[in-house]
Amino acid sequence: MFNDLSRLGKYLGQAARLMVGMPDYDNYVEHMRTNHPDQPCMSYEEFFRERQEARYGGGGKGRPIRCC
């Protein structure tokens, strides 16, 4: 029972972070290690910056600069 509650808490926490736009670095690292072991993982700072630019734009990769 506690295992199920722990898992539920993990998923609810992840859903809440995604709803407010906070990226989940631990899931990214786990995904990279599992699915792309030959590629290096970004540092937390690189990951955070990349997620911010993807969400809010930054004028990179053909996207216009956005103010909001």
Residues 6+ apart with CB under 8 A from 64: 57
pLDDT for 26: 86
Which of 63 and 50 is assigned the larger pLDDT? Answer: 50
Residues 6+ apart with CB under 8 A from 41: 28, 29, 32, 33
pTM above 0.75, yes or no: no
Question: Is-contact 57 66, C-beta < 8 A?
Answer: yes
Q: What is the average pLDDT across 48-55? A: 83
Residue 34: pLDDT above 70? yes
pLDDT for 46: 94
Quote the CA–CA distance of 1 and 6 in Å, as a whole number.
9
Q: State which amino acid sits at residue 60.
A: G
pLDDT for 66: 58
Residues 6+ apart with CB under 8 A from 29: 41
